């Protein structure tokens, strides 16, 4: 993802992360592949590790939650929104499904995970 110093326009892909059973192994792979360095966010954030290039955040890797319906490791693309709660309500109205309701992510803002009517998952 390209780094920005200003807010992303609504609906723009703004973040990606990978949830896997073995985050250390994945970090070793992507670190060697792309030169990413990782900063573990600690126990409070489940050891979610922010990947950086030249000191700028580009992605993250975290531990996979228990699988739902056989879902395995996956990259999630997050779309920028001005209000995660309002957007989550619109998702349901449009025929999508909110898989993880909006919640605070420290001081970074709010996030949610949803799926479109075809089942494709994305984050807010």
In tens digits, the chain (124 residues) has pLDDT values of: 556 778 888 999 999 999 999 999 999 999 999 999 999 999 988 899 999 999 999 999 999 876 656 667 889 999 999 999 999 999 999 999 999 999 998 887 899 999 999 999 999 9
Q: Residue 120, by phi and psi: left (phi above 0), alpha (psi -120 to 50) or beta? A: beta
Question: Global pTM?
Answer: 0.87
Direct distance between the N- and C-terminal alpha carbons of the chain, in angstroms, rounded to an integer: 15
Query: What is d(CA 10, CA 14) in angstroms, rounded to the nearest whole number?
Result: 10
Could you give the domains of the chain? Answer: 13-63 (3.10.180.10), 79-124 (3.10.180.10)
Q: In what order do the strands lie in the sheet with 97-104?
A: 37-40, 49-53, 56-63, 13-20, 74-79, 121-123, 110-115, 97-104
């Amino acid at each position: 993802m390209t780094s920005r110093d200003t807010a992303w326009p609504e609906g723009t892909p703004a973040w990606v992360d990978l949830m896997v059973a073995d985050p250390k192994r994945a970090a070793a792979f992507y670190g060697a592949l792309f030169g990413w360095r990782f900063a573990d966010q600690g126990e409070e954030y489940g050891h979610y590790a922010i990947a950086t290039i030249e000191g700028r955040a580009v992605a993250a890797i975290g531990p996979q939650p228990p699988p739902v319906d056989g879902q395995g490791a996956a990259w999630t693309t997050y779309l920028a929104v001005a209000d995660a709660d309002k957007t989550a309500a619109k998702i349901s109205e449009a025929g999508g499904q909110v898989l993880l309701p909006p919640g605070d992510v420290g001081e970074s803002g709010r996030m949610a995970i949803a799926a479109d009517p075809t089942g494709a998952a994305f984050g807010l």
